[in-house]
Amino acid sequence: MKAMSRNIRVWSLVSLGSMVTMLVLAVAIPLFSTPVMAQEAVKAATEAAPKVEMAKDIYYKTEGPVSGPPVPELKASDYPSYNLPYPLSENRILIWSIAQQHLYFGSFVLAVPIFCMIIELVGLLTKDPVMSKKYDDLAHLMVKISLTAYSVTAILGGLLIFSFITLYPDFFKYLSSLFKPVMHIYALLFLAESGTLYIYYYGWDRMTHGFAKWVHASLGVILNVFGTVLMMLANSWATFMMSPAGVDEKGRYLGNLWHVMHTALWNPLNVHRIIGNMVFGGGIVAAYAAYKFLSSKTQEEKAYYDWMGYIAMFMAVASLIPLPFAGYWLMREVYGFRQQMGITLMGGIMAWLFIIQAVLIGALFFSVNYYLFNGMERMKGAERYQKYIKYILFLTTVAFLVWLTPHTLVMRPAELKAIGGQQHPVIGNFGVMSAKNGAVNTMIMTTIIAFLMYQRSNRIITVKWATWGNAALIAMFTVALINNWWVAIYGYYIPANVRVGLSVPQVVGTLTTLFVGSGINIAMMRGSKLTGPIEWGKISVRSQYAMFALAVSFTWLMALMGYIRSSVRLFWHVMEVFRDNSPWAFTHTIGFAANVMSLNVMAFWLFVLFVFWLGELTSKHAVAEARKEARRPVMAGGSE
């Protein structure tokens, strides 16, 4: 039986690999063949039709045959609008709101299948049948929650397309002329993802054992492949607007679709959004678990939803830690593409938006640490580590204040004159990126320390090298923190272009503490003595509000960064290629933008509460199943 089980797993994985390979090739071959086709077109144009006009790519600096019209020169009258009260009379406010809601729900339905895939595979690989069933039920419940969100995402996507066609017809016509093949592939992949999702969900109860269960898990992987490719295709449209490629200075298509898609910002935005989606999705599921925990009537329900919230929070935190590094890579590529864009973002009219970003990210880290500290209440023996909480909180708070400190102050002309200019003689020395990089890395490392302490809370280390292991952890974090702070201080005395390179050792030190520190900690816990089981459900109500704070803060953060990314184009539809000549081609005040973002956050959470309500109608089954399995006697040889 064991040999047969191994053969089933092997053939399942082989089948999965073959299917994914075919799917990826089906999408990649048309895209990667375009450079060859473009080269053949150049050769044919040179040999057979010498009159074909050639032009230079504004980004890749390669020549190609002009294969499309230039961007249209629009007037204010070319932008149709609705006769609505201000600010709804601005087309961009409508597009902004619809696109933001579509992005929220799209991020959620892309992230949840990733969690379901991971949790289902964990259940498959878990030897304890009770825990295996518990993980499987949790993954099933997560998919159930996301089904309604998936429908809302599709509706909002259709509404967004219709809004572009009616409110920005000339711009949408130009964009669709460039991405026409991509849009067809996008539509086909959406159909494939929808079909896979419904088979994945409705076939759950029919594919529960043996080979069928591995086929079902394989469907989860395929579902995520479809979703990830869809996201990457949609990202290519947004990054083309920020960093155009594959066209000449007049916006004319040069016959190379891969160049149009593969712009300077495409790869970093793909990575940033995948990680961001996982934080966002984990936060939403954690908020759902908190909502159910607070409304539970029995201790068994509280225990189930406490455990569910911990799993969701763990995945959100695991994604949150590398997210600042992905954001740094994206900003570095923005500077590399157009230095002026980077200056506009970090030192120009949008610089204060990054102060708001610091507040929101600080709220994320404080929420995570607060939840971990409260989570220790579930475990006997955690009292040993409570004395260190105040030191972690102190370091996190100091780092947050350093990150929050602005480089320039918002002042009236008279106040500027009184201090002798924009740079304050004292404050002007603070708030630079060198210090902020050191601050965010410190916050990440304190969160890692808090998580390592949480892992040990109900365990007594028994390995012979425990003293050396603890010494290695202390030394590693000490060296990483000192290196981080030293580089931050040294950055004040070197030019900005050199300072950017020095951020690399800071990142390396932080990642070392994450991966090496986690590895050492896990190795030390092998064979450790338990001080008692985790008492799920015995956690303060305040911890559940921390999960709500995490989810809402990240929702607001997504709105903020989406606005920043879009607004950095200023008065351009496509940066330095297609000018926006609409009557509202100006940058709103920070206060106005913050109000629109807040309304979008409120609207989204009203939608989410509706989705939670629908999920509540059927989620009682999962709790009942978990309760039934928990009462079932454990087989001889099984783990408790």
- Residue position matching structure tokens 């039934």: 628
Q: Among residues of the chain, what percentage have pLDDT more than 70?
A: 86
Average pLDDT, stretch 521-537? 87
Average pLDDT, the chain: 83
Q: From CA 245, how far away is CA 243, in angstroms rounded?
A: 7
With beta carbons less than 8 A apart as the criterion, state whether 452 and 518 touch: yes
* Of residues 467 and 347, more confidently modeled: 467
Asked if residue 638 has pLDDT above 50, the reply is no
Residue 23 neighbours by CB under 8 Å, 6+ apart: 222, 225, 226
Asked if residue 487 has pLDDT above 90, the reply is no
User: 3-state DSSP call for residue 345?
Assistant: helix
At 166 the pLDDT is: 92
At 252 the pLDDT is: 93
Q: Among residues of the chain, what percentage have pLDDT more than 90?
A: 36
Average pLDDT, stretch 329-350? 82
Looking at the structure of the chain, the number of domains it has is 2
The last residue of one of the domains, among 503, 533, 563, is 533
Q: From CA 107, how far away is CA 427, in angstroms rounded?
A: 39
Domain range for 627: 76-379+534-631
Q: From CA 9, how far away is CA 565, in angstroms rounded?
A: 44
Residue type, 397: T
- Residue position matching structure tokens 């099984």: 638
At 29 the pLDDT is: 44
Using DSSP bridges, classify how beta strands 54-56 and 63-65 pair: parallel, antiparallel or unpaired.
antiparallel
Average pLDDT, stretch 230-242? 93
Assign 634 a pLDDT band (cuts: 50, 70, 90).
very low
Q: Contacts for 123-131 with beta carbons within 8 Å, 24 or more apart? A: 124/213, 124/214, 124/217, 127/639, 128/638, 128/639, 129/635, 129/638, 130/629, 130/630, 130/632, 130/634, 130/638
Tell me the angle at which helices 129-167 and 180-202 cross, rounded to the nearest 10 degrees.
Answer: 150
With beta carbons less than 8 A apart as the criterion, state whether 553 and 545 touch: no
Average pLDDT, stretch 140-148? 84
Average pLDDT, stretch 317-323? 86
At 448 the pLDDT is: 92
Residue 529 neighbours by CB under 8 Å, 6+ apart: 459, 460, 462
Give the DSSP letter string of 295-357: H--SHHHHHHHHHHHHHHHHHHHHHHTTHHHHHHHHHHHHHHH-HHHHHHHHTSTTHHHHHHH
Question: Per-residue pLDDT tens for 345-362?
Answer: 877 777 788 888 888 988
Question: Per-residue pLDDT tens for 564-595?
Answer: 888 888 889 999 999 999 988 888 888 899 99
**Same domain for 511 and 561?**
no
Alpha-carbon torsion (173, 179, 182, 186), positive or negative: negative
Asked if residue 40 is part of any domain, the answer here is no
**Same domain for 361 and 314?**
yes
What single DSSP character describes residue 637? T
**Same domain for 177 and 227?**
yes
Average pLDDT, stretch 283-288? 90
Q: From CA 565, how far away is CA 236, in angstroms rounded?
A: 14
Give the DSSP letter string of 117-142: HHHHHHHHH-S-HHHHHHHHHHHHHH
* Of residues 52 and 485, more confidently modeled: 485
At 27 the pLDDT is: 46
Q: 357, exposed or middle or buried, with CB in 10 Å at 0-12, 13-18, 19+?
A: middle
Average pLDDT, stretch 66-83? 89
**Same domain for 494 and 601?**
no
**Same domain for 440 and 589?**
no
With beta carbons less than 8 A apart as the criterion, state whether 273 and 540 touch: no
Asked if residue 463 is part of any domain, the answer here is yes
Asked if residue 144 is part of any domain, the answer here is yes
Asked if residue 637 has pLDDT above 50, the reply is no
Asked if residue 598 is part of any domain, the answer here is yes
At 633 the pLDDT is: 45
The last residue of one of the domains, among 533, 562, 594, is 533
Helix, strand, coil percentages, rounded to 5, for the chain: 75, 5, 25
Integer CA distances (angstroms), 32 to 21, 425, 626, in order: 15, 55, 48
Q: What are phi and psi of 214, to 5 degrees?
A: -70, -35
With beta carbons less than 8 A apart as the criterion, state whether 362 and 443 touch: yes
**Same domain for 143 and 212?**
yes
Asked if residue 6 has pLDDT above 80, the reply is no
Asked if residue 55 is part of any domain, the answer here is no
Asked if residue 139 is part of any domain, the answer here is yes
**Same domain for 184 and 316?**
yes
Residue 147 neighbours by CB under 8 Å, 6+ apart: 197, 201
* Of residues 13 and 466, more confidently modeled: 466
Average pLDDT, stretch 192-202? 91
With beta carbons less than 8 A apart as the criterion, state whether 596 and 616 touch: no
**Same domain for 215 and 302?**
yes
Average pLDDT, stretch 522-527? 89
Q: From CA 461, how far away is CA 459, in angstroms rounded?
A: 6
Integer CA distances (angstroms), 244 to 66, 357, 561, 574, in order: 16, 27, 20, 7
**Same domain for 90 and 200?**
yes
With beta carbons less than 8 A apart as the criterion, state whether 133 and 213 touch: no
Asked if residue 47 has pLDDT above 60, the reply is no
Asked if residue 34 is part of any domain, the answer here is no
Asked if residue 54 is part of any domain, the answer here is no
**Same domain for 514 and 438?**
yes
What single DSSP character describes residue 248? -
The last residue of one of the domains, among 498, 516, 533, is 533
Average pLDDT, stretch 462-490? 91
At 11 the pLDDT is: 47
**Same domain for 409 and 550?**
no
Q: From CA 569, how far away is CA 241, in angstroms rounded?
A: 8
At 264 the pLDDT is: 92
Asked if residue 171 has pLDDT above 90, the reply is yes
Q: What are phi and psi of 109, to 5 degrees?
A: -75, -15
Tokens (6 digits) for 640: 């408790």
What single DSSP character describes residue 424? -
Q: 77, exposed or middle or buried, with CB in 10 Å at 0-12, 13-18, 19+?
A: exposed
Average pLDDT, stretch 133-153? 86
Stretch (H or E) spanning 55: strand 54-56
At 628 the pLDDT is: 55
* Of residues 22 and 598, more confidently modeled: 598
Radius of gyration over alpha carbons of the chain, in Å? 27
**Same domain for 110 and 249?**
yes
